[in-house]
Amino acid sequence: MRILLTGGSGFIGSHIALLLLERGFDVLILDSFINSSYNVIYRIENYLDNKKINSKLETVVGDIRNKKLLNNIFSDSIKEEKPIDAVIHLAGLKSVSDSLINPLHYWDVNVLGTLNLLLTMKEFECYSLIFSSSATIYGLSDTVPMAEDHKISPINPYGQTKVAIENMFHDLYNSNINFWKICSLRYFNPVGAHPSGLIGEDPIGNPNNLFPFLTQVAIGRQKLLKVFGDNWDTKDGSGIRDYIHIVDLAEGHLACIDYLNSKDACLEFINLGSGKGYSVFQIIRQFELSTGCQIPFSIQSRRDGDVAECYADISKARKLLGWTPLKSLDQICIDGWNWQMKNPNGYS
């Protein structure tokens, strides 16, 4: 099978690309590289050479808002007799705090970009799609763990764009062309790195997210970790989240491809998380235990857009995809630290 992987050079995309190629899929990455380094591609190519994996990796630098480019990608794939069998669509903006400052940019890239992709897929009769959605769409947690039928009420523009895209899927699936096969995977908090240390999380500028900030404190790039609030209504007052190893998350996409291949048509919304909630203080303690690093921190006020507690009920992914997360929080810390140690300045 040949997979078009949009946003394939990002943290999540690069781990999915590596796994797809290892499992014998050919991959075409489309990425604008505004949020990632082209060095990721060189790393993946070297990995394939060293492991003598002969799946094909091709890369196109471009923006999913460029409809002409998308058309060329699909038409060329047919001309060259290597049609795109399915799309894994990750390309998009993902920072909650940035989306609060620049919402229209998020609507443009995330929603218009996805609309362009769907129009092109329809035109070229490619109806298999896996989409990167997010637990952010649940907003304030009524109950935890959160199942897919949890109330959807995003509290930031980033989450709103994910809801808008999921609504497009509903309309599309209920239209007259009812052989779309769509899985919208709702990621919780992907963290860690490939055990090789070849690829990992390398945010541009100061990390917004906890885990990459924490590994940068450990390597000495950041002085101390700011804990955004210790007065949340949680067991130790710090925020609780569902941290899933990035390799477990990537495996969830492979399981999803098998699921789509087994269906004539489907539309499913599926949580991908570890199913466990850990507080910020628990993460700090585990990271120190697993790596021997000391993580100095200071307590700050709460961050806009944050919620107290959010972790997944993953029974649907287990049942429908036959998938379950295998890596522990200890493994997450070890692999995340291994990546940061081997790449103190990320890919640059």
Residues 288-291: contacts with CB under 8 Å, at least 24 apart:
289/330, 289/333, 290/330, 290/333, 290/334, 290/337, 291/218, 291/333, 291/334, 291/337
* Cβ closest to ligand WQD, residue 83 vs residue 203: 203
* Largest Cα span, the chain: 59
- Which CB sits closer to ligand WQD, 73 or 280? 280
Least separation in angstroms between residue 224's CB and ligand WQD is: 10
Report in angstroms how near the CB of residue 228 gets to ligand WQD at its nearest: 4
Q: In sequence order, what are the residues at sequence separation of 6 or more whose Cβ sits closer than 8 angstroms to the Cβ of residue 323?
A: 251, 252, 255, 256, 317
Beta-carbon count within 10 A of 213 CB: 19
Give min distance, CB of 13 to ligand WQD, in A.
Answer: 13
Q: Which residue of this chain has its Cβ atom nearest to ligand WQD in the complex?
A: 239
Q: Closest approach of Cβ 207 to ligand WQD, in Å? A: 7
Candidate list 47, 127, 138, 158, residue with the active-site label: 158
Q: Which is nearer to ligand WQD, 33 or 228 (CB)?
A: 228
Is the Cβ of residue 251 or residue 309 nearer to ligand WQD in the bound state?
309
User: Which CB, 59 or 160, lies closer to ligand WQD?
Assistant: 160
Inter-axis angle of helices 280-291 and 329-342, to 10 degrees? 60
Other CB atoms within 10 A of residue 196 CB: 16
Instruction: Answer for the pair 162, 135: CB distance below 8 angstroms, yes or no.
Output: no
Q: At closest approach, how far in Å is the CB of 142 from ligand WQD?
A: 17
Q: Please give the residue ranges that form the binding site for ligand WQD (CB under 6 A).
A: 94, 96, 134, 136, 187, 189, 208-210, 213, 225-228, 239, 241, 280, 303, 306
Cα separation of the two ends of the chain: 32
Burial (CB count <10 Å: 0-12, 13-18, 19+), residue 251: buried
Measured CA to CA, the distance from residue 239 to residue 228 in angstroms comes to 8
Q: Tell me whether residue 347 is one of the annotated catalytic residues.
A: no
Provide the annotated active-site residues.
158
